[in-house]
Amino acid sequence: MAIEVGTKLEGKVTGITHFGAFVDLSGGVTGLVHISEIADNYVKDVNDHLKINDVVTVKVINVDKDGKIGLSIKQAVDRPASEAAAPPRAPRPDRGGERFGSGGPSQGRGGFNRDRGGRPFKPAASKPSFEDKMSRFLKDSEERISSLKKNTEGKRGGRGAKRV
């Protein structure tokens, strides 16, 4: 009998590993039920769900060119259409746009009210010119360099450190 994707078969569990269970199908053909395909809920240990010599119904989910057969127990279970679809999620309570702190809805990226440069975010009323951007960049750059120099001058082995 040829094993095709989508067919449901019965088989016997012949081996259990930390990543799944091997199931012997008819004719001495063996397939693997991956741990993620054993049950609908989280499976920490395969031994909690299956034992060797258990007879299980499996669905063939893939057949590789090299003969490996992927099986699923959870897909082999017939569920009503109402259960098959995920239940709709309840809407999250509205917190007035606040995430962390009191920055309001303009906060982005996890609640930090800053842009990439580490400066407080100020929405621009008009688009700044290239010269404005360049002067702001130079000012910030000079501030950072002076801060770096202050913090490294007193440390031994730093660049430009004063030796006594």
CB proximity list for 53: less than 8 A, separation 6 or greater: 12, 13
Q: Give CA angle at 138 (137, 140), nearest 5°.
A: 65
Cβ atoms < 10 Å from Cβ of 85: 9
Its pTM stands at: 0.49
Vertex 21: Cα angle to 20 and 22 (nearest 5) = 135
- CA dist 62 and 160 (Å) reads 65
Name the pairing type of β-strands 8-17 and 20-24.
Answer: antiparallel
The domains of the chain, with CATH numbers, are 8-77 (2.40.50.140)
pLDDT tens series, the chain, 164 aa = 578 899 999 999 999 999 999 999 987 899 999 999 999 999 999 999 999 999 999 999 999 999 899 999 999 887 766 555 556 666 666 655 555 555 555 545 555 554 555 666 666 567 888 899 999 999 999 999 988 888 877 666 655 555 55
